[in-house]
Structure 1
Amino acid sequence: MMAFKRNILNFLTFVLSSVLFLTGCLSLKAQDTLISHQKNDFWRNVQFGGGLGLGVGSGYTNIMVAPSGIYNINPYVSAGLGTQYSYVKQSNLFDSHIYGGSLISLFNPIPEMQVSAELEQLRVNNTFTEFTPEIKDNFWNTALFLGAGYRNQNVTIGLRYNILYRESNYVYSQAWMPFVRVYF
C-alpha cells in the first residue's frame, strides 16, 4: 500500500511539474508579447505537442500521457524535450508506473520526410501482484530511437527502431514501433 501511495505521489508530482513547466513557458510568451508588442523570434519557432494513450480491456488498463516541445532551429532541423507517464495494470498479475523524459532531434531533408533521433530515459516501477508476497521490480530503462516518417504540415506518421532494445527490459515488447507525431 505504501508503494502505491508513493507511486501516486510521484505521478502527481510529475503531472504538476509538467503543468507548471508548460504554464511557465506560456506565461513567458504572454509576458513578452505584452511588454514588446512584437513577436519574439524564439517563441515563433517553438511548437508543443505530444501523445495521449488509453487502452482498456477485460481486467487490463493502460494510460499514457507524453507532452513534448520542440524548437525549430531552421526549416530543416528541430530539437526539443519530452516527458512521459504511463500506468499499466493487469488485474491479479501486475501494475506498472513508468515515467521519465526524452531529448528529441528532428531533421526534415524535404518537407514530406522527417528523420528523428530520440534518447529516452524512463523509471519503471513494476509490482507483480500474482505472487504472495508481491514482487517489486524497479529499474531505469534507456532507449535510443532512430526513425523516419512521412510528414504533412504538423503531423508525421512513421516507424522508429530502438537500437538499445533488450527483450528482458519489460518496457517495450519489440524494437520496432510505429509512431504518430503532432506539433502545433
Structure 2
Amino acid sequence: MTKNDFLNKSKTFSVLLALFFSTCLFAQQNDIPPETENQFWKNVQFGGGIGLGFGSGYTDISLAPSAIYNFNQYVALGVGAQYKYLKQKDFYASHLYGGSVIGLFNPINQIQLSAELEQLRVNVNLDGSNSNSQDYWNTGLFLGAGYRSGNATIGARYNVLSDKNNIYGSAFMPFIRVYF
C-alpha cells in the first residue's frame, strides 16, 4: 500500500466517521417534548411605563420597560430598566437612568404586594454654572401594595431608603402597573 492510497483511505474513513457521529448527534436534538420547550416564555410577562409631562418651561419624559417571570400564581420576579429626562427652563436639565429588580407576591387574586430595588444614575446640569453640576447614584427600596384586576394593578409604594436628598418629591408614590 502506497502512501497516497493510505491517505485516501484515511480521508474516506474520517469522512464516514464524521457523518456517523453527526447523525447520532442530530438524532439527540429532539428529546425535549414540544410542550416543555416554550414553557419558560409562557410564564414571562412584559410591561412597564411611559411618561410625558409638559408645562410652562418644564419637560418630563420617562421610559421604563420591564419583564417578570411568574413562578406560580402567587410569586413573580422581574427586572426593569429606566430612563428619565427632566428639564426646567433656565434652571436645570437632568438625565436619570438605571435598573431595578422587582418581586411580586399575590396572597389572593385581587391583592398584590411588591418589593422593588432600584439603582439610578443621576446627572444634573445646572444652567449657568458647570461647577454646580451633579453626578451621583441614587438607591431606592420600595415596598408597595395594590389592588389587582387582570393584568393591571393600582396601588402605592413607599421608599424605605428615602432621605432629604431623595430624587423623588416624596417617599410615598402611587403607581399603576400593567403586564401583558
| TM-score bin, normalised by smaller chain | 0.7 to 0.9
Matches within 5 A, 1:23-102: 38=35, 40-102=38-100
Q: Rg larger in 1 or in 2?
A: 2
The Cα shift of 1:168 comes to 1.6
Question: Aligned residues: percent identity?
Answer: 59
CA-to-partner distance for each residue in 1:5-49, whole Å, 9 max, x for gaps?
Answer: xxxxxxxxxxxxxxxxxxxxxxxxxxxxxx986461110000000
Letter paired with 1:47: Q
SS in 2 for 1:174: coil
Q: Is 2:164 aligned against 1:182?
A: no
Identify which of 153, 169, 173 aligns with 2:169.
173
Q: Is 2:152 aligned against 1:141?
A: no
Structure 1: where are the runs of 5+ without partners? 1-34
How far apart are the structure 2 equivalents of 1:133 and 1:127? 7
How far apart are the structure 2 equivalents of 1:155 and 1:132? 44
Q: Is 2:102 aligned against 1:108?
A: no
Contact kept? 1:48, 1:183, Cα under 8 Å: yes
Aligned to 2:150: 153
TM-score, length of structure 1 as denominator length: 0.77
Structure 2: where are the runs of 5+ without partners? 1-31
Aligned to 1:23: none
TM-score, length of structure 2 as denominator length: 0.79
The Cα shift of 1:132 comes to 3.6
How far apart are the structure 2 equivalents of 1:45 and 1:63? 30
SS in 1 for 2:133: strand
Question: Structure 1 residues 110, 139: closer, same or farther in 2, change over 3 A?
Answer: same
SS in 1 for 2:52: strand
Q: Is 2:157 aligned against 1:163?
A: no
The number of residues matched between the two structures is 148
